[in-house]
Amino acid sequence: MSSPLLLPLKLLLIGIDLAITIVTFGWVKPLLALFQTTPLRSVPVSDDEPYRRAAPGRVNNLMTKPENGASTLYEMAAYSFEQFASNPCMKTREFKGMKSIKPPVKIFSEETTSLSYAEVGQKAYKFGAALRQEGLVPAPEVATLDAISTPCSLAIFENTCSEWMISALGAFSQSIVVTTIYATLGMDAVVSAVQDGVISAIVCNKKDVTKLLSKSGDMATLKTIIYTNDLVAKGDDMDFGPVPKGVKVVSFDEFCEFGDVNTLQLRTWK
């Protein structure tokens, strides 16, 4: 049984502890509130909850183009290559192979290789120059529903990877159309895309080169197959077999090295 004197003593101790807390830490919250910035909020578009936009300064004045004045994807990329030249842009881990469990698991290195914005830009420009050297031409300035009659389109039949983006940026730098073909689609879809787009060059995975070559007879316009090594382990050699006359098979890195940017007039973002 506790003594009647203990209750007042406990209350006194609680009061002292509370006073100490207020004196030592009670000022923290007001100080944080003083320096805290107003968080960015969004508001519904025309009272439609599924669609929202940033509220500050944009409610009745939506931007029609980036603040730097860029009006095309190429100009937006070129701006980044110049403004953030030394900053890391793309990082990749080396693919080591598959772990034999069910389901199989991809194994990657712990280290990453990095490309700066300037390096990505240079590689994209060289890729674009190589496309021009392979006979691809800029698309017409005015788009129509007429059938394509010139080799102005690059096909990309690959999963998302650094080579995918560099290929697209390189094509954009030369006003070349990018035709994307989902890597999960079958070869019939690839053949149809190449035929309809009068496509002379395609970017694909190294594992798909043999499949493309087997269908080359149905793709008369296809002259250049550029393969990536995405998810292909070092030492995983693949025999492409006989390459039909008039068709070139080249790795992505080698293709970029072919590009001579000195022969092109590259516009800056300004």
For the cut 80, the answer to whether the pLDDT of residue 1 exceeds it is: no
The predicted-structure confidence for 71-95, as pLDDT tens digits, reads as follows 888 899 999 999 999 999 999 999 9
Cα–Cα distance measured from residue 41 to residue 54, given in angstroms and rounded to the nearest whole number: 6
* Low-confidence winner among 199-208, 228-237, 261-270 (lowest mean pLDDT): 261-270
User: 11 or 160: whose pLDDT is higher?
Assistant: 160
The predicted-structure confidence for 128-170, as pLDDT tens digits, reads as follows 999 999 999 999 988 888 888 999 999 999 999 999 999 999 9
For the cut 60, the answer to whether the pLDDT of residue 224 exceeds it is: yes
For the cut 90, the answer to whether the pLDDT of residue 20 exceeds it is: no
Distances (CA, A) of 31 to 17, 23, 78, 188: 22, 14, 43, 66
Q: Which helix (H) or strand (E) holds 53?
A: strand 48-54
User: Which residue type, as a one-letter code, is found at position 26?
Assistant: G
The predicted-structure confidence for 169-201, as pLDDT tens digits, reads as follows 999 999 999 999 998 888 999 999 999 999 999
Cα–Cα distance measured from residue 184 to residue 159, given in angstroms and rounded to the nearest whole number: 8
Cα–Cα distance measured from residue 86 to residue 139, given in angstroms and rounded to the nearest whole number: 32
Cα–Cα distance measured from residue 216 to residue 46, given in angstroms and rounded to the nearest whole number: 52
* Closest C-alpha among 214, 227, 225, 215 to residue 247: 225
CATH number of 73-262: 3.40.50.12780
The pTM assigned to this predicted structure is: 0.76
User: 198 or 26: whose pLDDT is higher?
Assistant: 198
